[in-house]
Amino acid sequence: MTKIIVDVVRHGETFLNRLNRAQGWVDFELDERGRQQANATGEALKNNQYDAIVSSDLRRAIETREIIMSHLVKRPEQTYTDKLFREVFFGYFEGLDADANWRMIAHQNGYQDQDDIIRHESLEAGRNMMHDMDPTGAAESYEEVIARLHRGLRKLVKESQDGDRVLLVTHGTFIRTMANWLGVDTVGNFPTNAGLTTIEADEKHVKMIEYNHKFS
C-alpha cells in the first residue's frame, strides 16, 4: 500500500486577508507581508527533500509555492497545480467581509458568530448553513469540500511512490475543514498564513501528524 507524507502549507497573506474578506476563489496576489511569510517558511523547509510540489491553481498559492521552492536545497522534478486543492468556494459571499457574513448566517440560525455555531453544533453545520443561505446555491457544502479533498489526496497518493514526501500549498478554510474532519478543534485556531500542517495519507486513510505550525 502506498503511504505518503504531505506537508500542507497555507498561502502567504494577501491584501484581501488584511481586509478580512472571504477570498474563496477570488484570485489575488501576495502582499509584502505574505511574501515575507512565504520566505520564512521556505527557509524553514529548505532542507526537506520533496518528491513533488503541488499547489492550488490560484495565484496566491502558486506564488507561495514558487517562493518556498526558491529556498529548497534540492528541488523535485514534479511541480504542478491542481484545482482540487482550491479554497472553499463561498458563492454569493465571495469577497464580502468574513465576520459580517458569519454574523448574518449565525443570527439567522440563533447564534452569534461562526465560532458560536461550531461550539454549539459543528464546523460542518456552519459550512452547510452558508450553503443553505446562499441565494445562488453555489457555496460549497461541507460534504462537497470533503469529497473534493478526498479526490485530491487519492490523486496525490496514486501519483506517488510509497514513502514519498509531498509539499502541498493550499488555503486556510480548506485546511481548517480538513483538520476538523480529522478531529482537530480549530475554534480560535485558524490556519496561519504560510503555516504548516502535516498529514499522512494512503489510498483509504488520512492521519493528522501536526496542525498549524507557525514559522513567522
Matching residue, cell 477570498: 23
183 is in an annotated binding site: no
Q: Are the C-beta atoms of 187 and 173 separated by less than 8 Å?
A: no
Of 87, 94, 124, 140, the active-site residue reads 87
60 is in an annotated binding site: yes
Determine the Cα–Cα distance for residues 170 and 182; give it in Å rounded to an integer.
17
Determine the Cα–Cα distance for residues 11 and 30; give it in Å rounded to an integer.
8
17 is in an annotated binding site: yes
Grid cell of 154 as nine digits: 487519492
Residue 213's Cα: distance from chain center in Å?
Answer: 13
Confirm whether 11 is a catalytic residue: yes
Of 11, 71, 131, 171, the active-site residue reads 11
19 is in an annotated binding site: no
16 is in an annotated binding site: yes
11 is in an annotated binding site: yes
Residue 55 phi, psi dihedral angles, 5° rounding:
-140, 160
H-helix segments, the chain: 15-18, 32-45, 59-71, 98-108, 114-120, 123-133, 142-158, 172-181
172 is in an annotated binding site: no
89 is in an annotated binding site: no
128 is in an annotated binding site: no
Confirm whether 213 is a catalytic residue: no
> What is the SS3 assignment for 207?
strand
Q: Are the C-beta atoms of 13 and 215 separated by less than 8 Å?
A: no
Catalytically annotated residues: 11, 87
Show binding-site residues for substrate: 10-17, 60
Show binding-site residues: 10-17, 60
